[in-house]
Amino acid sequence: MQKITSFTIDHIKLIPGVYVSRKDPVGSEMITTFDLRMTSPNDEPVMNTAEMHAIEHLAATFLRNHKEFGTKIIYFGPMGCRTGFYLLLAGDYESTDIIELLKEMYSFIAEFDDKIPGASAKDCGNYLDMNLPMAKYLAKKYLDEVLTGITDERLVYPK
């Protein structure tokens, strides 16, 4: 069986960044999958599920309500390895095209101080597993250390 694309990336060289993971034509539309890598794989601790779950709820809510990108959002969700998230957009994009969107989103999460949307038994299958303070901390860290003044090495997968 052939390796899928994401397993061909050298995770030893991979650093936190914003990467185009793949582009897939679906009908007449292109779907761009972004790898929003928040931690350094196999080098620093992974994120816990509680903070990832909080980030997922906040980011999905922010993205679906965004005035420009809201109708282009296909999916936002966690990576199984817990080192980041995938963002799928309808359209043919490059990493630089979404940096401002991500700055807005991670600022929204870092500054969020209310009840997490969808954090109830009626709305979510595991609503008790959320950690807003840690989600805010991680969002600010990613915003400050990766997105602000992002460099080319954090925009293109390592060779």
Q: What is the pLDDT of residues 29-68, one digit of tens each?
A: 999 999 999 999 999 999 999 999 999 999 999 999 999 9
- Residue 119's alpha-carbon distances to 23, 110, 126, in angstroms, are 32, 17, 8
Does residue 58 lie in a domain region? yes
pLDDT for residue 4 is more than 90: no
Residue 88: alpha-carbon gap to chain centroid: 9
Number of domains in the chain: 1
pLDDT tens digits, 133-154? 999 999 999 999 999 999 999 9
Range of the domain at 118: 15-146
CB-based contact 109:55 (threshold 8 Å) = yes
For 21, the token pair is 């993971």
Q: Is residue 155 included in any domain, yes or no? A: no
Q: Is residue 1 part of a domain?
A: no
Decide if 89 is inside a domain.
yes
Q: What does residue 87 show for φ and ψ, rounded to 5 degrees? A: -125, 120
For residue 6, tell me if it sits in a domain.
no
Asked if the structure places residue 21 within a domain, the reply is yes
> What's the CATH number where 52 sits?
3.30.1360.80
> 3-state DSSP helix/strand/coil percent for the chain, to nearest 5?
35, 20, 45
Q: What's the pTM?
A: 0.96
